[in-house]
Chains A and B, each alone.
Chain A
Amino acid sequence: MKRNKWVYLSVLLLTTVLVMGFATFCMAAGDASAPVEAPRGMPPAFGNLYVIGWTAVNFFILLAILYKFAYNPINNMMEQRTNSIESNLRHAEEVRTEVEQMRKEAQTNLSESRKEAQDIVAKSTKAAENVKNEMIAKANEEAASIKNKAHAEIVAATEQAKMELRDSAVTLAIIAAERVLSRAITSDDHKKMVREFIDEAGDLLC
Chain B
Amino acid sequence: MIFAMWDEVMFYLGPIPVDHIIVTEWLVIVFIGVIAYLATRNMQIVPRGLQNLFESLVIWTYDFFSQVIEKENAARKWAPLLSTFFIFILVCNLSGLIPGAAHIGGFQPPTSNWNVTMTLALITFFAVHVSGIMENKLHYFAHFISPSPLMLPLNLVEEVARPLSLTIRLFGNIFGKEVVLGFLLFLAPFFLPAIFLALAVLLSVIQAVVFTMLSASYIGASTSGGH
Contact = CB atoms under 8 A, between A and B. Distances in A.
Asked if A and B bind, the verdict is: yes
Contacts of A50: 16-19, 22
Given A7-B134, A84-B45, A77 B55 contact: yes
B84 interface: yes
Interface residues of A, number: 48
A37 interface: yes
Given A1-B80, A7-B134, A48-B115, A62 B88 contact: yes
B110 interface: yes
Interface in B189-205: none
Interface string A32-69: 00001110111111111011101110110111011101
B83 A71 contact: yes
B170 interface: no
A45 B116 CA distance: 11
A81 B119 contact: no
A27 B16 CA distance: 15
A51 B115 CA distance: 6
B88 A44 contact: no
A66 B62 CA distance: 14
Contacts of A69: 33, 36-37, 39-40
A18 to B, nearest CB: 6
B58 A70 contact: yes
A11 B45 contact: no
B166 interface: no
A42 B43 CA distance: 47
Given A41-B4, A65-B33, A73-B40, A54 B22 contact: yes
B119 A15 contact: yes
Given A1-B80, A11-B123, A54 B40 contact: no
B81 A63 contact: yes
Contact of B110 (A15, A55, A76, A84): A55
Interface in A76-133: 76-78, 80-81, 84
Contact of B45 (A36, A43, A47, A80): A80
Interface in B3-55: 3-4, 6-9, 16-19, 21-22, 25-26, 28-29, 32-33, 36-37, 39-40, 43, 45, 47, 54-55
A59 B8 contact: no
B130 A66 contact: no
B118 interface: yes
A52 B17 contact: no
Interface of B: 3-4, 6-9, 16-19, 21-22, 25-26, 28-29, 32-33, 36-37, 39-40, 43, 45, 47, 54-55, 58-59, 62, 76-77, 79-81, 83-84, 87-88, 110, 112-116, 118-120, 122-123, 126-127, 130-131, 134, 175
30 contacts: A7-B134, A8-B80, A8-B81, A10-B130, A19-B122, A36-B9, A36-B17, A38-B7, A38-B8, A40-B3, A41-B3, A42-B7, A45-B7, A50-B18, A50-B22, A51-B19, A51-B22, A52-B115, A55-B119, A58-B25, A59-B119, A62-B29, A62-B33, A65-B32, A65-B36, A66-B36, A69-B37, A73-B43, A76-B43, A77-B55
9 A-B pairs with the lowest CB-CB distances in the bound complex, closest first:
A38-B7, A51-B115, A69-B36, A55-B119, A73-B40, A44-B7, A70-B36, A14-B126, A54-B22
